[in-house]
């Protein structure tokens, strides 16, 4: 596991370089659960903090987002990134993920976070059946947490389980999952194949409107 000092050393120069090159309207996100890394990244030009643990591993990250006015994406994760696939157990994955995410949203609001997103954590400590259930239940999750949903399905292991494809060959499976996410109410998606996914989104979003 990468320590905070090394994490900062890796990401801060990249963020500063991107900030200097990208248009002002382009938002840069830092993916970390470490409060110190988040603060350094925001100082360098990031405006969004994506924490896969939803502020559970280092609660101070919520205060960093609140103090700086950054948006925060609260992911669902039990355990740690290193241990998340051990002892997976859900009685009702949709109800449990929804309730746990709602609690993280409440925690973020209590410390003053203003722009809050929730991520059901597809692939993070979930088996195939859990990931599919969450994708099917996005409208219910959205209503439960009360904030926009960001969904990451691109090239994930559950797509490989369904298609038998390695990560580098999951573009079509990812496109199908992205379409399902958008039709289910996801406000944003996290992807690898950006250009191709723009076409997927154009079609999926058209289906949402008369």
Q: Where are the beta strands (DSSP E) in 46-176?
A: 48-51, 71-75, 116-119, 150-152
pLDDT digits (tens, 9 = 90+) for 88-98: 999 999 999 99
* Average pLDDT of the residues in 136-158: 98
> Given a cut of 90, is residue 122 above it in pLDDT?
yes
CATH number at residue 31: 3.20.20.20
Q: Give the residue numbers marked as catalytic.
A: 156, 190
- Kindly indicate the confidence band of residue 210, based on its pLDDT and cuts at 50, 70 and 90: confident
> Given a cut of 80, is residue 56 above it in pLDDT?
yes
Share of the chain above pLDDT 70, in %: 100
Task: Let me know whether 179 and 124 are in one domain.
Answer: no
Q: What is the pTM of this model?
A: 0.95
pLDDT at 131: 98
Q: Are 61 and 35 in contact (CB under 8 A)?
A: yes
pLDDT at 78: 95
> Given a cut of 80, is residue 51 above it in pLDDT?
yes
pLDDT at 166: 98
How many structural domains are present in the chain?
Answer: 2
Contacts for 144-148 with beta carbons within 8 Å, 24 or more apart? 144/98, 144/99, 144/101, 144/102, 145/98, 145/101, 145/102, 145/105, 145/118, 146/102, 146/105, 147/105, 147/116, 147/117, 147/118, 148/117, 148/118, 148/187, 148/188
Task: Let me know whether 116 and 145 are in one domain.
Answer: yes
Mean pLDDT over each residue of the chain, to the nearest integer: 96
Range of the domain at 43: 4-150
């Amino acid at each position: 596991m990468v320590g905070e000092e090394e994490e900062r050393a890796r990401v801060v120069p990249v963020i500063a370089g991107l900030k200097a090159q990208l248009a002002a309207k382009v938002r840069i996100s830092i993916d970390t659960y470490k409060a110190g890394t988040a603060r350094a990244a925001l100082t360098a030009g990031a405006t969004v903090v994506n924490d896969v643990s939803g502020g559970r591993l280092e609660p101070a990250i919520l205060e960093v987002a609140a103090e700086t006015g950054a948006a925060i994406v609260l992911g669902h994760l039990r355990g740690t990134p290193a241990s998340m696939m051990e002892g997976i157990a859900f009685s009702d994955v949709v109800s449990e993920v929804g309730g746990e995410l709602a609690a993280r949203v409440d925690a973020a609001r209590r410390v003053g976070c203003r722009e809050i997103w929730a991520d059901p954590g597809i692939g993070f400590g979930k088996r195939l059946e859990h990931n599919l259930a969450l994708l099917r239940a996005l409208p219910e999750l959205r209503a439960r947490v009360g904030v926009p949903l960001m969904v990451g399905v691109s090239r994930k292991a559950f797509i490989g389980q369904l298609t038998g494809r390695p990560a580098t060959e999951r573009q079509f499976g990812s496109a199908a999952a992205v379409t399902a996410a958008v039709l289910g109410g996801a406000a944003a998606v996290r992807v690898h194949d950006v250009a191709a996914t723009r076409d997927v989104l154009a079609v999926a979003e058209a289906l949402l409107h008369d």
